[in-house]
Amino acid sequence: MYDLGSKEMEKILRSHGPFESPPVHSSGECVGDWRILAFLGRGGSSEIYRAANVVTGIIAALKILSKTDDHARERFKREVRLLAEMRSVAFPKFYGAGEFGGRLYLAEELLEPIELPSRDRDVARFVLCVASGVEELHGLGFIHRDIKPGNIMRRPSTGESVLIDMGLAKGSEETAQTRNETLSVVDGRAVGVGTPGFSAPEQFIGGRISAATDIHALGMLANACFNGNPPIAWTEIIRRSTSSIPEQRYATVAEFMSAIRRRHAARYFLLCAIALCIAVAIIISFSGKASCPQPADESSPGRAACPQAAADTTTQSADAKTESENLFDLGTTSQEAGIAVTKIMLGGKDVTIPKEVVLDGKRKVIIEGPGRITASICGNMGTSIVLCKNATLINLTDKPYPVSRIRYSVRGNAYLNFKNLDWPVKSDIGNVYVDDLSEGGRPIVLFRGPDTFEEALLGIVVF
């Protein structure tokens, strides 16, 4: 027999790919209540089969843990528990779990591979669907840690995007780990938990894992849809969500989703401004052809006196836009259960208050629209402001909560905006309550947003 030298043997082995072992289970074999129909593939620690329930006939994806170490088993059990709790359509349906022959298994909804969308509207729907599932996961106190295209599949019946593989998900209280606990070393290189190219930097340098970690992955997912060349409307969203500094990303998934919904707002506002300019130009051109172009001369026969349209216009503008020295001059104040309650009926007025308004003591201000108040308002713990019936408050204060501890209540078709506050830190939004939808409206709260309810609404509903 010819004896190959070590170099020749190494060359032959390098020319061949790795030899995959056959699946552990074969077609027709039963695992618990599930009869295996076909082998679908394998991941890092599990094998996936197409299977049918012998009792109900449901067709499912049967995931069987192939590793036997305690760490792999604990991860698998965590995924089972999480999937059983999920209610969002962004996660697979849970059919059951158990242990057979010493191996853990999980039966879940059978899904199909997905192709990443590339058109603006399709990308928005895709990312928002995935993000809604991540938001639910965060609400349960868990971070996914491995959001990537390979972990997103498609529901054949509806075409919805579904986030899978929660084996790496960890509770937020478990993720503040030390460097040595987070990293392993392979061939002298530091390796963290996650997928390079999508996972956040802190996953690979021993940093604290938080909601911002998944937000980074969602931003990278959106970027992948555009092949790394996103349109202008997405540039700032992706730049901010994928910042290498966690504190500079969106504070919550909800903020990230809101930014996606508002991504075209600036463009629509520009179009509205252009349309308004055109309309004004047309009105001016027609007004120049009025039936009374010259001053009336009462002494001239056959000439009637011309109405003083300019004076009327000035009066109308003054009625529509006014300035007040004091917020409380706009309404009436009474005492109710030891609280000074001021009720302001705007009646269509647009009011600007130049001096800073300080609400002190126990005071409640109810502002009823339609109309708008622009002012710098701050207060203490015992103060509150209620907006209702198409009322808009543009608060110019630069004092974030909890420095200004006003409680804001926004009720149907009302708009609250803080023009001089940048994207809020977590505590900023804690004093705003959308607490009454009985009027059937759409309350809106924005930071550095547009000046009117209509513009804000337009920006939010655009997809």
DSSP 8-state secondary structure symbol assigned to residue 405: -
Distance of CA 237 to the CA centre of its chain: 11
pLDDT at 316: 32
Of residues 247 and 317, the one with the higher pLDDT is: 247
Percent of the chain residues past pLDDT 70, beyond the cut: 70
* Residue 308 confidence class, pLDDT cut points 50, 70, 90: very low
* Residue 193 confidence class, pLDDT cut points 50, 70, 90: low
Domains of the chain: 30-109 (3.30.200.20), 120-263 (1.10.510.10), 322-461 (no CATH)
Of residues 439 and 71, the one with the higher pLDDT is: 71
96, β-bridge pairs:
107
Of residues 432 and 117, the one with the higher pLDDT is: 117
Of residues 457 and 227, the one with the higher pLDDT is: 227
pLDDT at 427: 37
For residue 402, whether the previous peptide bond is cis, meaning omega lies within 30 degrees of 0, is: yes
CB 145 within 8 A of CB 193: yes
Burial class of 26 by CB neighbour count within 10 A (0 to 12, 13 to 18, 19+): exposed
Average pLDDT, integer, range 38-55:
88
Q: In the chain, helix, strand, coil percent, each to 5? A: 30, 25, 40
Instruction: Answer whether residue 462 shows pLDDT above 50.
Output: no
In angstroms, the CA 101 to CA 398 distance is 64
* Residue 400 confidence class, pLDDT cut points 50, 70, 90: confident
Of residues 187 and 92, the one with the higher pLDDT is: 92
Instruction: Answer whether residue 421 shows pLDDT above 60.
Output: yes
Average pLDDT, integer, range 392-415:
83
Extended beta strands in 103-260, E state: 103-109, 142-143, 152-154, 161-163, 170-171, 184-186, 189-191
Residues 6+ apart with CB under 8 A from 302: none
Instruction: Answer whether residue 36 shows pLDDT above 90.
Output: yes
Residues 6+ apart with CB under 8 A from 408: 384, 385, 386, 387, 416, 431, 432, 433, 445
DSSP 8-state secondary structure symbol assigned to residue 452: S
Distance of CA 390 to the CA centre of its chain: 25
* Residue 255 confidence class, pLDDT cut points 50, 70, 90: very high
Residues 6+ apart with CB under 8 A from 99: 105
Instruction: Answer whether residue 9 shows pLDDT above 70.
Output: no
* Residue 424 confidence class, pLDDT cut points 50, 70, 90: very low
Residue 448: half-sphere exposure toward Cβ, Cα within 13 Å: 9
pLDDT at 414: 84
Average pLDDT, integer, range 220-234:
93
Instruction: Answer whether residue 290 shows pLDDT above 50.
Output: no
Residues 6+ apart with CB under 8 A from 172: 138, 141, 142, 143, 209, 210, 211
Instruction: Answer whether residue 120 shows pLDDT above 60.
Output: yes
pTM of the complete model: 0.52
Average pLDDT, integer, range 118-130:
91
Instruction: Answer whether residue 297 shows pLDDT above 60.
Output: no
Of residues 223 and 266, the one with the higher pLDDT is: 223
The tokens for 273 are 């401004």
- 443 closest CA partner among 403, 413, 400, 417: 413
Contacts 24+ apart (CB under 8 A), 369-377: 369/413, 369/414, 370/346, 371/346, 371/347, 372/346, 372/451, 372/452, 373/327, 373/330, 373/344, 373/346, 374/350, 375/327, 375/351, 377/327, 377/404, 377/406
Tell me the pairing of strands 161-163 and 152-154: antiparallel
- Give the model confidence (pLDDT) of 362-376 as tens digits: 899 999 988 899 999
Q: What is the mean pLDDT of the chain?
A: 76
CB 193 within 8 A of CB 205: no
- Give the model confidence (pLDDT) of 201-220 as tens digits: 877 777 778 889 899 999 99
- 31 closest CA partner among 111, 96, 109, 81: 96
DSSP 8-state secondary structure symbol assigned to residue 112: B
Instruction: Answer whether residue 234 shows pLDDT above 50.
Output: yes
Of residues 172 and 132, the one with the higher pLDDT is: 132
pLDDT at 117: 94
* Residue 307 confidence class, pLDDT cut points 50, 70, 90: very low
pLDDT at 236: 93
DSSP 8-state secondary structure symbol assigned to residue 17: P
Of residues 41 and 434, the one with the higher pLDDT is: 41
CB 410 within 8 A of CB 444: yes
Extended beta strands in 26-93, E state: 30-31, 34-42, 46-53, 59-65
Q: Measuring CA to CA, how many Å separate 138 from each of 4, 87, 212, 256?
A: 57, 13, 11, 14
Q: Inter-axis angle of helices 453-461 and 265-287, to 10 degrees?
A: 140
Percent of the chain residues past pLDDT 90, beyond the cut: 28
Residues 6+ apart with CB under 8 A from 24: 47, 64, 66, 103
Residue type, 338: G
pLDDT at 304: 39
Q: Inter-axis angle of helices 253-261 and 211-225, to 10 degrees?
A: 30
Instruction: Answer whether residue 6 shows pLDDT above 70.
Output: no
